Amino acid sequence: MDTKIGSIDACKPTNGDVGSPPSGAVATIHDSAPSVASSEATLGRHLARRLVQAGVTDIFSVPGDFNLTLLDHLIAEPELKNIGCCNELNAGYAADGYARSRGVGACVVTFTVGGLSVLNAIAGAYSENLPVICIVGGPNSNDFGTNRILHHTIGLPDFSQELRCFQTVTCHQAVVNNLEDAHEQIDKAISTALKESKPVYISISCNLAAAPHPTFIRDPVPFSLTPRLSNKMGLEAAVEATLEFLNKAVKPVMVGGVKLRVAKASDAFVDLADASGYAMAVMPSAKGLVPEHHPHFIGTYWGAVSTPFCSEIVESADAYIFAGPIFNDYSSVGYSLLLKKEKAIVVHPDRVTIANGQTFGCVLMSDFFTELAKRVKRNETAYENYHRIFVPEGKPLNCKPKEPLRVNAMFQHIQKMLSSETAVIAETGDSWFNCQKLKLPKGCGFVFNSRYEFQMQYGSIGWSVGATLGYAQAVPEKRVLAFIGDGSFQVTAQDVSTMLRNGQKTIIFLINNGGYTIEVEIHDGPYNVIKNWNYTGLVDAIHNGEGKCWTTKVRYEEELVEAIKTATTEKKDSLCFIEVIVHKDDTSKELLEWGSRVAAANGRPPNPQ
């Protein structure tokens, strides 16, 4: 069947836009065929077609008795592949990773025991502004409103517990327990996820998935996503006020934040950098959203743990444009940023605030930057200052033969692996800081999707295993490099099995330092030491001779070099698992600084009563 969703290119793998269609475009979900066969005119098949039209070609699922019939009808859709996961948490993380590349993701679980298990992953997707469609196989429609007690519940006749839990971590909830409005409910949920760039919850009664209905036979009613438009007068006023502010500045800078992605404003942000000549930096969670090969790119602004010389330029500026920032305790390094609100122009996806005063609503970020670029006065002073003080970074000393491998030496070799054919996923922990220092080559970031992902706002350890599964499934032409600490890996290790089952060729670097290193640097204690596993032995056991898998342990730099060579040549079509054994105290200097400042923020005494 020839189906499409308006400007469907916004959801294909070649475009990582997340959320609503580009400004000015109207996305319409519709079928070009006049009707479907009666055997396909079921609720389950309709949902499957809608998912495909939205850009989902893989669903991540865990079967349970309430969703089995639904899964039958979903996998009957030729363009939809089911990726069976080992647990619901990883299915949710996989949908998160998939949405980061495709622009939308979906997972399917069973009622309550599955729903509450996936809840943590959906909360993470909500915090990261990712449209994940969480589909739950629900109770038989005849059981609603009765006094019956069902299995997979907490033993009460009230079936709303799961729904209530999802209400705080999704932007829309649909409980489909009758066929009359099922079509409308599904369309509204999916379109809301795309429009709001947030997760949604859809519960489908288990006895309805196979049920036919006239609304699934006739031509589906076209469903439009109304494009968001800037208020023209508000846009003009915002631009005028911003120009007045910037033209008084001597050394303005611009800093990109994570909401550049949801606002689809990366191109416009770079256009402004080109026109203005301002020094351009990114916040850590926005790494990969702007091209690092841009001539005025000065690195990552992260307060005391910034790229060398970046914070000095940003914090000494007399005006800074922040595009889509999130200032939380982590991104502000324990609230220690040396910024002044009266110097800041903060641009959110739909509003602009100037100098902690005037706020202009109904102004889209991309429109604002586009208009500003046309009229801004060029000023390269901040970048010239950066160029004057910049001193190239030194390289860490090479490890001596049989000297224990150091993490900083390891990442020198990782840097050489990056290309337009790779993507990087960094787990919560010291991998945040080490991967942040990687320089993304042309094609490894910015173009289509960021090719660099980590979960900074939610920071759930173990996220990267499922996210790697989903991301690699979404972009099979890329080779994902995943950097995971041993403590995080122990949380979600099972779904390496799913990667193998689906023929993925990811390279996982398991950094074994014997514990929760990021927690150690915030507050140490015996609870941060974990039981050591034979990680390569575990992956070998999961492999069990099925699929392509290669594992190795490395303790020395020469072993790492050989392992990388093998993984990128003779084992290039295999999933490669490289366990890197390092000293428990081998951390980046940035983590040491960041951890002490976050600890200070956590340890503030109560305010006097």
Residues forming the annotated binding site for Mg(2+)?
Answer: 486, 513, 515
Q: Are strands 81-84 and 105-110 parallel, antiparallel or unpaired?
A: unpaired
- What span, in angstroms and rounded, lies between the C-alpha atoms of 507 and 528? 26
- What span, in angstroms and rounded, lies between the C-alpha atoms of 388 and 284? 24
- The Cβ of residue 308 has, within 10 Å, a number of other Cβ atoms equal to 14
The kind and range of the H/E element at 109 are: strand 105-110
- What span, in angstroms and rounded, lies between the C-alpha atoms of 266 and 442? 15
The kind and range of the H/E element at 31 are: strand 27-31
Closest C-alpha to 415, from 608, 560, 221: 560
- The CA-based angle 173-127-331, given to 5 degrees, is 170
Which residues have CB under 8 Å from 561's CB, separation 6+?
Answer: 413
- What span, in angstroms and rounded, lies between the C-alpha atoms of 282 and 266? 11
User: Quick check: 21 and 7 in contact, CB under 8 A?
Assistant: yes
Q: Are strands 359-361 and 351-354 parallel, antiparallel or unpaired?
A: antiparallel
Binding-site entries: 486, 513, 515
Main-chain dihedrals φ then ψ at residue 499, nearest 5 degrees: -60, -45
- What span, in angstroms and rounded, lies between the C-alpha atoms of 520 and 46? 50
- What span, in angstroms and rounded, lies between the C-alpha atoms of 508 and 506? 6
- What span, in angstroms and rounded, lies between the C-alpha atoms of 25 and 364? 14
Q: What token pair was written down for 417?
A: 């692996």
**374 in helix, strand or coil?**
helix
User: Number of helices and strands (H, E) in the chain?
Assistant: 20, 22
Can you say how many angstroms the Cα of residue 139 is from the centroid of all Cα atoms in its chain?
A: 31
- What span, in angstroms and rounded, lies between the C-alpha atoms of 101 and 471? 6
